Structure formats: C-alpha cells, structure tokens
C-alpha cells in the first residue's frame, strides 16, 4: 500500500494543497520520483511516443502497459500508482475493461486505472468501480482519439464543446471515478469543472486552477527529441541534476508557480 492514497488526494483537494504528478515508465525514474516526493506516478500510454518512438499512443499493447507498470511498481512505493488502459483494451465491452483493469492491478501493480472518454464510458466506469477497481477519468484532448479529433488540438473552446466536457466530468464522477485528468482545455473551463467536482482534477495544459498538475517526464526534463507541447516546461534548465529538476517541478506545482499564463490556453 502506498503512503499516498485516493483518500489522501481528496483531502488535499479539500485543504487546497496542490497535487504533483509525473509519468514514469521504468524502475530508475520511478524510484527517483518517489524519493523526490511526487504524489502520483502515472504509467501513461504516452510511453508509446517517448519510449517507443511511435507517432501516437495507439500502438501500445496491454502487455506493454503491464510490463512498464510492474517496473514502476518496483520503484514507486510511496506515490499512488495510476496506469493507463491502452487503446482497445476497454472500449469493446465492460467485461473487456474489467479483465484489462484486473490484469493491470494484479500483474502490473497499479492502484488506479485511467481510461479516456466521458458519458459514453460512464457505464463502464460504474461497472469497474462496483467490482473494486478505482478509476481515473480523462477528458479534453484524449490522445487515443487523436485521429477523430483531427490532431492534438485544444478542446472545449466553444460553448457546446465546453458544456459537453462539463457534462462528461459530472457523469464520470457520478459513475464513481475518483480522479479526473483534464488535458488541453481552456483554463477557465478547467477551473469551473474543478470547483464543481468533489473529486480531484489533475491538469495538463488546463491552467493553474486544477487540483493538481501532471507532465510527461521526458517533456519536463527536455529529453524528448521532438518539440514539447506549449503547456510543458523544461525544469532541467538551471538544475544541476535530474533529481533537482524533479524537486523544482514539485515545488513549482505546490506553490502555484506552475503552470503560468504562458503554459495555458
């Protein structure tokens, strides 16, 4: 059992304490993040891009997610471990989602599974939660739908899009989700949702008013060979070690210094 639990995060939201999260995909970085004091380690299907060199997250398999999750589990003992369900490992049916989530928890050691989608996934979320699987939702820019979205674009910019994301967020909470990632949505929309929800929101390109922040580790360290998104920041600049950069990120999130206006939409 990690020191940080879902109850810990809910209390942090209630107390106004910011939640700091980063991705990790291996033992060494997971150990470093844990030692630095990160609250959430996200084993993201972003590994398809930053670890495997794919153009999107779509090629990542459930077996690969389990493998990387287990590597992270060996290193992260304090932080809460959240793992992505990869593309087509849960969309087909509630039963498929339960089987995939069960494997991620039993074989990969994750404590929460993350899936993308709003109202359309609410029944699946409820099905998982009722069977003892904690769920984190993901709204806004949902990378597994990149082709349907027409690329990596900001979501919820018009009134109808914003209303849909708000409705999706409420539907996921009502279905039993315990966390919600908001990616690439306007800061004012993310603020509204964060106030409306009882569960913690974790922003990535969603402004400073989410209950926490997450970045892809390789973006935040400036080591991904392709351009990083607008909402990221290179914390290695001016740091004398990787651990110092990670601690600087955690401090910047906790103090509210990050994200600043230049990282928001």
CATH number of the domain residue 215 falls in: 3.20.20.60
**Domain-located, residue 1:** no
Structure tokens at 113: 């599974």
Q: What angle do CA 133, 178, 67 make, to 5 degrees?
A: 50
Structurally, the chain folds into a number of domains equal to: 1
**Mean pLDDT value across residues 193-215:** 98
Is residue 141 situated within a structural domain?
A: yes
- In this predicted structure, the answer to whether residue 109 has a pLDDT above a threshold of 80 is yes
246 inside domain:
yes
Residues 76 and 37 sit within 8 Å (Cβ to Cβ): no
Q: Which two tokens stand for residue 99?
A: 């089987």
Within a domain: 139: yes
Q: For residue 228, name the pLDDT band (cuts at 50, 70, 90).
A: confident
Question: Does 233 reside within a domain?
Answer: yes
Is 152 within the bounds of a domain?
A: yes
Q: Residue 264: what pLDDT?
A: 85
Q: Tell me whether residue 1 is exposed, middle or buried, using C-beta atoms within 10 angstroms of its C-beta: 0 to 12, 13 to 18, 19 or more.
A: exposed
pLDDT of residue 183: 97
pLDDT at position 1 over 80: no
Give the residue numbers marked as catalytic.
Answer: 183
Residue 215 has what DSSP assignment?
A: E
Cα 119 to Cα 32, 75, 126, 169, 220, distances in angstroms = 37, 35, 11, 8, 31
Question: What predicted TM-score, i.e. pTM, was given to this entire model?
Answer: 0.97
The reply to whether 258 falls in a domain is yes
Domain enclosing residue 201, as ranges: 6-263
């Amino acid at each position: 059992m990690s020191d940080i639990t879902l109850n810990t995060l809910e209390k942090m939201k209630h107390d106004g304490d910011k939640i700091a999260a980063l991705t990790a995909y291996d033992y060494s970085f997971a150990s470093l993040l844990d030692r630095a004091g990160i609250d959430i380690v996200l084993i993201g299907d972003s590994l398809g891009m930053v670890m495997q060199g794919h153009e999107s997250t779509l090629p990542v398999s459930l077996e690969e997610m389990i493998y990387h999750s287990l590597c992270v589990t060996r290193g992260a003992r304090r932080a809460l471990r959240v793992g992505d369900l990869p593309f087509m490992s849960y969309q087909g049916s509630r039963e498929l989602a339960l089987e995939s989530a069960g494997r991620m928890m039993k074989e990969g050691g994750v404590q929460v599974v993350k899936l993308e989608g709003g109202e359309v996934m609410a029944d699946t979320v409820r099905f998982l939660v009722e069977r003892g699987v904690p769920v984190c939702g993901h709204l806004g820019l949902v990378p597994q739908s990149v082709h349907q979205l027409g690329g990596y674009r900001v979501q919820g910019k018009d009134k109808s899009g914003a209303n849909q994301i708000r409705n999706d967020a409420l539907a996921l909470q009502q279905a039993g989700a315990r966390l919600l990632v908001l990616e690439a949505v306007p800061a004012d929309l993310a603020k509204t949702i964060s106030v409306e929800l009882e569960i913690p929101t974790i922003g990535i390109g969603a402004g400073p008013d989410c209950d926490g922040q997450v970045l892809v580790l390789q973006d935040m360290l400036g080591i991904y060979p392709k351009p990083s998104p607008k909402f990221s920041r290179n914390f290695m600049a001016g740091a004398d070690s990787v651990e110092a950069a990670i601690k600087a990120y955690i401090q910047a999130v906790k103090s509210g210094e990050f994200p600043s206006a230049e990282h928001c939409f």
